[in-house]
Structure 1
């Protein structure tokens, strides 16, 4: 779809830029890591993303910031049922029309944007719907007898609903990435109002350029050098599970999901996919709002995700605390102490297996806490057994 380009940056340098971009994109926004992630994944893959949720959740601000970080042309518009083509694509050139030529003045409009944000995207009426579809899919605006090639790389859509109208199904399907944007939990409110006050005071400057379109094109080319072999069987298993749960994935979407897996690997500095990259299914499989929780539950159960690892570490910690109470009640040289001692060694081995190759700081800290519990209890048992 996009022209392949070359520059002098190594794959490692490009992957570092992608990671830096994500960090910079989310930095001013409290609790919006996943929204920043799906926008970054959409940019790396050259695909589109729709953010579904109520107003006031930083959707448009994040889209604009992504354009600022790339220093590219940005277009933003709120669609209504009455939006005219000229509002999106530019007015007709009257002077050219008088001379018998049909042409639009596209300056500052969607046909010139590299990143665009269309709010309430599912208000698109029949007058603009087909044109938006062709721009998203073909990067071409068919206008009268004219075909206008457009530079659009990624369209960020926003809506407070999932469309139910059959005529909007094709538009919704064009968004590879979908994220259900929820209001922040209460524990994040203090950080939120601090950030909002800083914004109101005008203390948030336009962010510096992190990388350019040439870098983004190179990253897009690099996707196809990612080795997906290690996750192929697991991905096929997940597709089957989703199908059994009536989470239908079209053949076309299954193919595009591979790009998303590769993009997630690049974001994590790898040219080989791992099971953790399959977490992107939570952004690419759901159709309805209820589907987001369904998919997330499946992934937690099936993948070595952060949530699953933390849950298992907490279960180990709970079992150790139960053992602590038992040890406190047992006399010295009680044979049951040896059984507990052996179980603690098994638990320690399980922790090592859980955190192997995991770089997440929260997981590392939790593992250290549980290991410390095990170590303290092991020492207590050894004293009682005179070991």
Structure 2
């Protein structure tokens, strides 16, 4: 079939059936082996061998980064499930390639696949710091903590080169604006100088997300994220620098990683975490198919048990997006998981989200393109 008009003609494009791509085409360090077209596309393509060379000879997929000029960077939300009402995403897509990532479906809005495209065709916002300073300086802006890392990871590998997150932190530090950060990357240690300065004014808290302590499972689930041991090192380094830290056990995958919950909380407490939270595996839209493909490929013996337990907490479905249910699920197994978490936190001296960041140090910027008053 012909290619959709807004997609490039590349052998790495989607297949009409969503079937697995050749292994060496996905390349080492890619979680998704499918690149099915986004749900808004009217046409798709199917890989065929035309006789000029086999599909197996195709080169591995490389990461491509496209610059995107941002007009706004602060995103508002009114979700009752979230402890924040505003966030920033320095990047679209995430090179970490976590197969379970609930943000994958957002790539469909870009005319791209939530599969391989999400982890290999990325968008960076190089002007994010400048736009942020302008938005913070708006006369109507009211300060509240900004959350970063709630959609895609601000410290994914391409941050080493682009340093967009560091620029954002420099603006927040200069203006005395509070921020919470969630990451799976040890790269966060690069910014300890800024974060420790902000911590002295109670302006920052960093949560390290840990899915499993099993290095082998982690490498398959989260192929380009930092290893569990490196995340623990980051947790220790941040804590030693006086930066408040938390552990986010997420996602909890029933029948595969849920038995590690207490162990994750214990070792993170030993590395300095003072707060903890957990989130049940979420499989919205295209993520469901991608995750099932991964299970069949990487853990076939756990396939039925994982889906059975998950559906028991989602009213028989792969996912339930209802507020107050989507993060923790419901039912006997969900209740048991919640009780285990509470007991583990109590025995290990961890608390739920409790640190309230200060909004008293905010100084509205007067540069960055802010319109001055005519009075």
TM tier, smaller:
under 0.3
TM-score normalised by structure 1 residue count = 0.24
Larger RCO of the pair (alpha carbons < 8 Å, separation 6+): 1
**Higher-helix-fraction structure:** 1
TM-score (norm 2): 0.25
